[in-house]
Amino acid sequence: MGLIFLGASEAQKRTQAPILAQGNIMRLIFLGPPGAGKGTQAAILAQELNIPHISTGDLLRSAIAQKTALGILAQAYLESGELVPDALIMAMMGERLAEFDALGGWILDGFPRNLSQAQALDRLLQILGQSHPQAVNFNVATESLIARMLQQGRKDDNENLIRRRLEVYQEKTTPLINFYKQRRCLIDIDGNLTPEAVNQSIRAKLSLAVPV
């Protein structure tokens, strides 16, 4: 399905400006399997850098709650038991990345999820006149991921289901990881460390000063 791009929504009126200068804009993609801690790290770093932390789940929930045109379309798919198409997700992403608070940088949490979405994101960023992002890949041992997810106690989770979920993730994201590797914009992070150590590792590899 082709890429749909719609102009920025009324949310473009947001006025919180990022702290990064135009010449040092931080655009990041956080990749990693379920339970890797990328959402936690994205939230921490986004707050430190005063740039938005963006996930497709949040975009969908917000659009549906606000009953935007895209949200109404997305809700129709979900209510019929279907997945929201990539083209619709990209349209929402296009609106969000064009908002004022995202012009100085952003962190995408768990998106893109596959090579097709990565290529669509490239086209979207070209339309928006934004540079290619840096990809940050969180590596965590499988047994650690399983232990974390079982500890979280999600409903209906068991070890076999979690293992299958991780296998599906690897199948879908291996081409994506290779895509960013070939572009030489991928950094690997050891997600087995403590959250504080992971944050310091991210900052070191992105050459960011440690906050005091």
**For residue 13, is it within any domain?**
no
Summarised one tens digit per residue, pLDDT across range 80-100 is 989 899 999 999 999 999 999
The CATH number that applies at residue 115 is 3.40.50.300
Q: Dihedrals φ, ψ of 76, to 5°?
A: -60, -40
Query: What is the dihedral angle through the alpha carbons of 34, 96, 29, 169, rounded to the nearest 10 degrees?
Result: 30
Task: Write down the pLDDT at residue 209.
Answer: 63
Residue 13 burial (10 A CB sphere; 0-12, 13-18, 19+): exposed
Q: At what angle do helices 159-182 and 142-152 cross, to 10 degrees?
A: 130
Residue indicated by tokens 């893109």:
112
Q: Dihedrals φ, ψ of 8, to 5°?
A: -65, 145
Bridge partners (DSSP) of residue 109 are 30
**For residue 177, is it within any domain?**
yes
Residues 140, 152: Cα–Cα separation, whole Å: 16
**For residue 9, is it within any domain?**
no
* Cβ contact 143:35 at 8 Å: no
Residues 143, 93: Cα–Cα separation, whole Å: 33
**In the predicted model, is pLDDT for residue 8 greater than 50?**
no
**For residue 212, is it within any domain?**
no
Q: Which domain holds residue 167?
A: 26-56+107-204
* Cβ contact 124:97 at 8 Å: yes
- Tell me: cis bond preceding 112? Omega within 30 of 0 counts: yes
**For residue 123, is it within any domain?**
yes
Task: Write down the pLDDT at residue 14.
Answer: 44
**In the predicted model, is pLDDT for residue 40 greater than 50?**
yes
> In the structure encoding, which two tokens stand for residue 29, read together?
């993609």
**For residue 5, is it within any domain?**
no
**In the predicted model, is pLDDT for residue 22 greater than 90?**
no
Helices (H) and strands (E) in the chain, counts: 8, 5
**For residue 196, is it within any domain?**
yes
Q: What angle do CA 25, 27, 31 make, to 5 degrees?
A: 155
> In the structure encoding, which two tokens stand for residue 38, read together?
């990328």
How many domains, in total, are found in the chain?
A: 1
Summarised one tens digit per residue, pLDDT across range 193-207 is 999 999 999 999 998
**For residue 166, is it within any domain?**
yes
Least confident of 11-20, 41-50, 154-163, 187-196: 11-20
Q: What is the arrangement of strands in the sheet containing 105-109, beginning at the earlier edge strand? A: 53-54, 105-109, 26-31, 134-139, 186-190
When pLDDT is cut at 50, 70 and 90, the band that residue 153 belongs to is: confident
Task: Write down the pLDDT at residue 155.
Answer: 65
Nearest alpha-carbon partner for 71 in 89, 53, 86: 89
Least confident of 45-54, 183-192, 201-210: 201-210
